[in-house]
Every structure is written in C-alpha cells, then in structure tokens.
Structure 1
Amino acid sequence: MLVWERPEPPNRPVPSPLNRERIVRAAIQLADADGLEAVSLRKVAAVLGVGPMRLYSYIASKDELLDLMVDAVHAEIRPVGDGWREVLRSLAETTRQAAHEHEWLADLLGGRPRLGPHALARGEAVVAALGDVDLDAIMPVVTAVDAYVIGAVRREIAERRAERATGMDEKQWQASLGPYLERTFATGRFPALATVVRDAAHLDADHTFRIGLDFLLDGIEARISR
C-alpha cells in the first residue's frame, strides 16, 4: 500500500506526539537549511526528539519521506488564472518560486511523477484549464511546460550553488573569462557567437525565464489554434 493510502498509527499518550505532517515538516526544515544530504530518518528523529524507530511506524523508508516532502511542497504550487495560457504561466512561475524557496526540490523534479494528493490537485487544476484543448494534446502541452521549468530552475540553482562554491557571482565569473573570450573571438572563428556575446542584451534570470516561457506558450498557442 502506498504511503498516501496507508493509515497513520493511532494517537497515543506519549511525551513527544508524532504524525507524518510533523515528520515531513522537520525533514523540509533540514533540507532547506543544508540540502538533501542533511535528511535522514535518524536526523529527522533527532530534530523531533524521538527515537529513529518510532518514525518507521509512519514512514517505511527515506524514499517515502522524499515523496512526502515533494508532495508537501506541491501544496505551494497552485496555478490559477483565466484560460489555459494564464494557468500554464502560473504553473511555471509558482513551480519556479517553490524551487527557489526549497532549493533541494530541483534535484527531485522530473522522472516518474510523485502522485501524492497535493501533486494530483495541482495536476487537476492544470488539466481542467486545458479543457478546450484536444484531449491528445493535453499531456504533451503540460509536459513541455514542466520540461522548460525543470531545465530553467536546475540551471538557476546550479548557478546559485556555483556562486556559493566559488565566491563569485555570475557577473564576476563572466568578467574573469572576459580576456579569454576576447582572445578567442579575435581569431575570427566564432563570429556569430562573438556578435551575440558583445552586442545582445544581457538579461537577468527573471527576464530570461519569462521570455523563454513566452516563446514556449506562443508556440503552444500557434499549434493548438490550427
């Protein structure tokens, strides 16, 4: 039986009451502070002031704990809007916001979906907004938006981690590469790339995300309007 369907143990009078919600909240606090490597049933139990074996009455494994953590964050992803385009934009932006607030989420997005109740509620809201779209196109459309968001947030989180590891922000890193790129472009071997690097607008992450999302939504709209 999946964790979503398995009932919790009955409440009993103990010094430290426990339930899945408290366990998941403690695990998320650990992950928010120090990443997924900081999450284990032993460490969660220590935060809650209980023995690790008590947690196994509620959660069978770390994989189940991760599933519950991801689903809890899906409660923060509530796409809204009038019409499919606004809902898909809201889906993208709220997913990105959740990943920035919970950096570890970027490591768990993608792959086989975690179909907990909050994830299903999120999916229901999105699919319902696509009610006028051809039935066979609904999942490819949602998958395309999800793939764009996952790729974008993983790149952004990777940049954030690189900044912490190197002590250089993106502009400082780019400046450190400037002399090398100037020498390389001076050879004339990369004229198109040199033009873009030198002359195109250098957008921040927010603008880059929104423009890319516009490109994607414009393409979806053109396709489904045929």
Structure 2
Amino acid sequence: MDTPYGSAPLPVWERPEPQPRAAPVPLSRAKIAATAIRLADAHGLDGLSVRKIAKELGVGPMRLYDYVINRSELLDLMVDAVYAQIAEAGQHAEWRATVLAIVHRTRDAALDHEWFADLLGARPHLGPHALAVGESTAAALSQAPGVRGIDDLQRALGALNAFIVGALRREITERRAARSTGTDVSAWQAALGPYLTRMLDTGRYPTVARLVIDGAHLNAEETFHHNLSTILDGITSRPRT
C-alpha cells in the first residue's frame, strides 16, 4: 500500500487470512489472538512471545508470521478481541446510559485482562471492534447537553479517556502490588502506621490527617462509578465560555 510516507503493508485488518495449508493444526488470526490472550492473562505481556504462542498451538514459530508480521500486529489483534467484549455493552436509549455501560464494561475487561490496561492510552486502537466502541462512545457523548460542537466533543472524549486510563491503571497497579508483595491494605497500614502517626502528630499535615483518620477505605467499584458520574456531570453542565 502506497502512502504519503512511503510504501507500507496493508493493516492486519485488511489483509485476507492466509490460504489453508495441509497441516495438522488449522490456524486463524482469531485462534492466535485467543491463545496470546490466555498467555498474557497468565504471565503478562513480558511473558508473551511468538515462540510461546506457537508452542501452545503446536506449530512452528515461523508459521505464525504468515498471519502477523510482528509483535505489534499481534497486540493489535489481542486488543481488538477485548474490544469485542466491550462492544457487547451495546447502545441504550439515553446517551448517559450508553457511556456508563461502555466504560463499566471497559473496567470489567481490564480487570479480566490486566495487560489491556497497559496498552490503553498508548498506540491508537484502530481495529474494527475498537472503532465500533469509539463510535458508540463518541455518538453518545455528542448527545450530551454540554456538547455543542466538534471541539466540545473532542474535549469531552479527552476528559473521559484520561479518567478511564488513569483510574484503571491505578486500580490494576494496586492489585499487582498487593499480589507481588503478599501485602494487603491492612498489613501495609500496620507496617507504616507508627511512622505516619509520628508525621501527622507534627501538625504540619492537617488535611492529610483528616483523610487518614476520618476517611474510610472506599470500595473500588463504587469509587470508579462515582468519579465517572462526576466526569459526565461536568460534561453535561459545562458552561459556555
């Protein structure tokens, strides 16, 4: 394919599947992506390689390159397979219900496939299912009362996506830290409690002291929903400038 930047291969989405071969193991891009997802779920992206995928499928590594040119294309297929799950949120009669359903479905997918959060906000996700989710989200937000034109829509999408990426990465990072250290929140508080008490007793951090002493340990799902609702409230009521 010729582009303004030179010749480039067709994107994986537009290349036809290779012709079936006389081999004991039939392959497809969907089958390769599903196997890669299982390995990434178990071992993370660092534990993912073409050799391991090929071994899991019972084929030689070079055979996979008939289907994907490189690791980036493999990740694209994996990501779009997850977006297929998110797309099941579907459309609702009211714009806010659609956005809530999509974003909560995105959180569920990221918790099921933690590596997915590592790829959010990085390379553009342009697979057919990712584009379908993007279309549903943008179309819903365009109906929000505070969105009056394309500039408003771009800003609304930017704010929403920034929240999704930040919230999911933080939640999953905390899960990973607890898992890798074997330390839950209570154990962490017990270990650092004496130090923190001494620091707060100095009186130099009164607001932090209120948060530590009076603040409850918030439920992650409830907090996610509350903060998401706050973002949507802001989009709805944003005054004209």
TM class by smaller structure: over 0.9
SS in 2 for 1:58: coil
- In the alignment, which residue of structure 2 is the partner of 1:102? 113
> Which amino acid in 1 is paired with 2:168?
V
> Which amino acid in 2 is paired with 1:69?
M
TM-score, normalised with respect to structure 1 = 0.94
> Which amino acid in 1 is paired with 2:224?
F
- In the alignment, which residue of structure 2 is the partner of 1:200? 215
> Which amino acid in 2 is paired with 1:114?
H
State the Cα distance separating 1:224 from its structure 2 match.
6.6
State the Cα distance separating 1:217 from its structure 2 match.
1.3
1:24 aligns with 2:33: yes
Equivalent positions of 1:59-208 (< 5 A) are: 59-78=68-87, 79=89, 80-132=91-143, 133-136=147-150, 137-208=152-223
Which is worse superposed, 115-124 or 139-148? 139-148
Which is worse superposed, 181-190 or 89-98? 89-98
Q: Is the 8 A contact 2:17 2:67 kept in 1?
A: yes
State the Cα distance separating 1:114 from its structure 2 match.
1.4
> Which amino acid in 2 is paired with 1:88?
V
> Which amino acid in 2 is paired with 1:112?
R
CA RMSD across the alignment: 1.6
- Work out the percentage of aligned pairs sharing the same amino acid: 53
Q: Could you list the per-position Cα deviations for residues 1-55 of structure 1 after superposition, in whole angstroms to 9, with x for gaps in the alignment?
A: 1111111111233211111111111100100111111211111111100001111
TM-score, normalised with respect to structure 2 = 0.89
Q: Is the 8 A contact 1:16 1:50 kept in 2?
A: yes
Cα separation, 1, equivalents of 2:236 and 2:186: 35
Structure 2 portions without partners, runs of 5+: 1-9
